[in-house]
Amino acid sequence: MRKINLVGSGLTFDDVLMEPQYNPIESRSHVDISGFLGLKTPVISSNMDTITETAMANWMHENGGLGALHRFMDIQRNIDQYKMSPQQTFVSLGVTKSELERAEALFKAGATNFMLDIAHAHSESARNAIKAYKEMFGNNAHLMAGTVATIEGAAFLAEAGADSIRVGIGGGSVCSTRIKTGFGVPQLSAIAECSFVGRPIIADGGCRSPGDIAKALAAGASAVILGGMLSGTYYTPGSIELTSNGAYKSFRGMASKEVAIDKLGGLAGYRAAEGVQVRVKSLSEQESNEIIQDIIGGLRSAFTYAGAKNLEEFQKKVVFIKVSGNVINENKPHKQG
């Protein structure tokens, strides 16, 4: 039982810790962190154009996770990238009628995992798209839909036919939706609330560390989608910019002004940019591999602190406690010199 009720509390990752429990497990190597769709590592790389193309999808697969290819490319290139990626890779779809052509082409090419990608999926356009895609795929594909941040939104997508629900509005590291609109739900509470709909919950946004991923899973997520934590890694697409201070890559939100300029010729007059573009350090292959191993190792260790041998036990055994803002500093290594 969770010691505090995350539902309706407006809490996010830094607002809580998980209390250590009795651990009967002899070694972290005995822990099973597998989850959503049988993933050995419950992590999906974000469907952003500066995060996931073929190289990232393959790297994620090698480390037990999944990639989600972005959709900001023509259909033939999308098909080519899918064919060079592992079979389980997710492919992204929008809600416009032209996306039906993309869906049909990718489905015929063998894709079976689809991600309906819309910023505010508690909407009629999302419901219509889900019904159209489910009619096309039948029972031969998995359709993840999102994003939403409330139980009403998650139930809406489940009723429309979504197989899994993507949760998170405004918490991403290059997302400015909450600043531009004032809307959103703190991510930990959003995950916990949406977990009651009886569909796998995929948490998207807000994770900055393996500990945050562990909290997301404990709150009810079956897997997490990562963007910022994987940005700049060796396997991300995009050119490397060499400067006097080192090598950098671009990382940007898909609702940023820069994406609108590149893909659409600019922002429509009725829209505001709800994302930003930043430069991140370009990491070597070794540095990148250390990041994913740190995630895997952190999760295995987290499970043992809960005395849990698998995800189901972890979610049952974790006890959350609310903490003060001072704990944020206490959590970090603070020895000086």
Tell me which CATH code domain 13-246+286-324 carries. Answer: 3.20.20.70
**How does 87-108 read in b/e, with b if 16+ C-beta sit within 10 Å?**
ebbbbbbbbeeebbebbebbbe
Phi, psi of 65 (to 5 degrees): -105, -160
Q: How far apart are CA 167 and CA 259, in angstroms?
A: 22
Q: How confident is the model at residue 261 (pLDDT cuts 50, 70, 90)?
A: confident
Q: Quick one: which of 306, 299, 240, 251 has its CA closest to 63?
A: 299
For residue 236, is pLDDT > 90?
A: yes
Strand ordering across the sheet containing 246-252: 241-243, 246-252, 277-281
Other beta carbons within 10 Å of 322: 13
Confidence of residue 1 (pLDDT cuts 50, 70, 90): very low
Where does the pLDDT of residue 315 fall: very low under 50, low under 70, confident under 90, or very high at 90 and above?
very high
Query: Residues 6 or more apart from 215 whose CB is under 8 A from it?
Result: 13, 16, 18, 188, 320
Residue 304 — very low, low, confident or very high, per pLDDT cuts 50/70/90? very high
- The C-alpha atoms of residue 319 and residue 196 are separated, in whole angstroms, by 18
**Tokens 């189901």 correspond to what residue?**
312
Annotated catalytic residues are: 175
Please state the rounded mean pLDDT for residues 118-130: 97
50-83: b (≥16 Cβ within 10 Å) or e:
bbbbbbbbbbbbebbbbbbbbbbbebeebbebbe
